[in-house]
Structure 1
Amino acid sequence: MAYIVTGPTAGIGRRTALELAKRDTVILVGRDPAKLDDVRKTIERDGGRAVPIVCDLSDLASVRRAAAEIIGLGLPLTGLLNNAGIMQMHPTTNTLGWDLTFATDHLGPFALTEALTPHLTDGAQVVFICSSCEDPERRPAVIAGFRGGRYLSAEASARGDWAPGGSKLPGRDAYATAKQCNLATVLVFAREQPRLRFNAVEPGFNPATDLGRDSNVFLRAVAKYVLSPLAPFIKYWSNPRTAARVITRVLTDTSGGTGVYYDENGRPFQGSELVHQPEFSERVVAETRALLARVPV
């Protein structure tokens, strides 16, 4: 059996990959071959097995190649963790002209999931890492400068166009909107595919992840060495080790729950009112499929 983890070279993804490796083979999906190899060696030193797959989630061709490689391994695929994500301070685009945050955080994981779901074993668990910053009523997110998802359409989001009234901080609208689309995807896929289980996890505010990799060196050091150790003692906060335990528990759960959103403590949690409206979530999925279908294979 094997679990697939995207973004496994740092932060929450790395910790979760190490946790899962205590149970079964882990397929490590990430951009940097050297960092992937480092995680593989760490897992193998502890007696586990890991298979690295190089993939840039912002590049649809790379996603398609990675999915084919994973399928070609011939392993029983028992779980998929869509963890990889970025939040750029200064937005950039990929080779297709798509907003890099939206492409990496929503379009790539969506395409990877659609390619792999026919090959997942019955009852397999698919988990998306989401964020409460998609909810305009979520007070901690508002305090942090977010104003919820600003979705107009999948095509508009790919262009970097957002509903008016969002954050004045570059990149935050893209991140919040991508996370809202992640959650919409979970809710729709859970209804569409009863053979599998689709759930989401809000891992809490994790100051030690690579999400803020665009920040300066001083701020990253403070986050990692000062804030992260204190995080589990602060409401709504967490750190990669604690988050990995919650995610592993959800990913390996066999109770059959699907379409559930879990908070940083592993308790069922509600997202924004908008994302729970079937017409909205189904539109997100339909428009995402249509956008991805226009990219030649």
Structure 2
Amino acid sequence: MFVCSGVENPERKPAVVAGFRGGRYISAEAGLRGEWRPGGSSKAGFDAYATSKQCNLATVLAFARETPRLRFNAVEPGFNPGTGLGRDANAAVRFLAKYVAAPLAPLIKYWSTPKRAARMITGVLTDGSDRTGVYYDENGKPMVGSAQVRDPAFADRVVAETRALLATISVDAASTGRGSFRWSRPIGVRPNLRTWALCADGWPT
């Protein structure tokens, strides 16, 4: 199960309103350098975040085709204002998120709470069916990603480039986090090579 996000889709209206412009993938190496396709968001970290989630989803779709005997699925847990998502914001915004926005989350489309998201993810994980390559929304219903991520050639390229890049990283660098790489850090994420190597898409999530 891979955690993804609808912000990778440039056609998703709530994400666009929030300032996202979809995944801006160029290559795995470019992403590691913090370089994104032109025309992205004006907000710091948004292109990195959207692209990391797009790569997660691309990985799910590619793996599902590559190894059909195993189940690879993705989930969009919904916008959860009750988490530490805005921990870098000022005190007033954190207060509003926790005590105003979070209680309203169950009533708003695309929003959720940690408990609801956990129940949904648990349900998907314990589903006895053999469904694979499915992208579930915050309600546990199948949804579609962006046109780009649904292109098998794109998904396969993301996986191939990431594998090639991972092959250049020594075990020592991955275990110590001491490499010669410059991170483009998604919002609220502390980078280290162990996290990067384990997340399968080339960026920490």
TM-score interval (norm. to shorter): 0.7 to 0.9
Aligned equivalent of 1:137, options 4, 8, 11: 11
Across the aligned residues of Structure 1 and Structure 2, the Cα RMSD in angstroms comes to 0.9
| CA distance, structure 2, for counterparts of residue 221 and residue 201 of structure 1 | 28
2:138 equivalent in structure 1: 264
Say which SS state the counterpart of residue 73 (structure 2) adopts: strand
2:21 equivalent in structure 1: 147
| CA distance, structure 1, for counterparts of residue 25 and residue 100 of structure 2 | 35
1:161 equivalent in structure 2: 35
| CA distance, structure 1, for counterparts of residue 156 and residue 98 of structure 2 | 38
Matched, 1:246 2:120: yes
**2:125 is matched by which residue type in structure 1?**
L
- Deviation string, structure 1 residues 123-155 (Cα, Å, up to 9, x no partner): xxxx11110000000111101110000000000
| CA distance, structure 2, for counterparts of residue 279 and residue 143 of structure 1 | 29
Matched, 1:288 2:158: no
| CA distance, structure 2, for counterparts of residue 257 and residue 128 of structure 1 | 14
Say which SS state the counterpart of residue 72 (structure 2) adopts: strand
Q: Show structure 1 runs of 5+ residues with no match.
A: 1-126
TM-score computed with the length of structure 1 as normaliser: 0.56
| CA distance, structure 2, for counterparts of residue 204 and residue 211 of structure 1 | 12
Q: Which region of structure 1 is more displaced relative to structure 2, 249-258 or 210-219?
A: 210-219
Aligned equivalent of 1:185, options 59, 83, 108: 59
TM-score computed with the length of structure 2 as normaliser: 0.81
Aligned equivalent of 1:278, options 152, 162, 166: 152
| CA distance, structure 1, for counterparts of residue 111 and residue 148 of structure 2 | 24
- Deviation string, structure 1 residues 234-266 (Cα, Å, up to 9, x no partner): 111111111111111011111111000011111
**1:227 is matched by which residue type in structure 2?**
A
Q: Show structure 2 runs of 5+ residues with no match.
A: 172-205
Moved over 3 A (4+): none
Q: Percent identity?
A: 70
Matches for 1:16-165 after TM superposition, within 5 Å: 127-165=1-39
Matched, 1:196 2:74: no
Q: Considering fraction of residues, name the structure with more strand.
A: 1
- Deviation string, structure 1 residues 172-199 (Cα, Å, up to 9, x no partner): 0000000000000000111112232010
The offset of 1:226, in angstroms, is 1.3
The offset of 1:212, in angstroms, is 2.4
Aligned length: 171
Matches for 1:211-222 after TM superposition, within 5 Å: 211-222=85-96
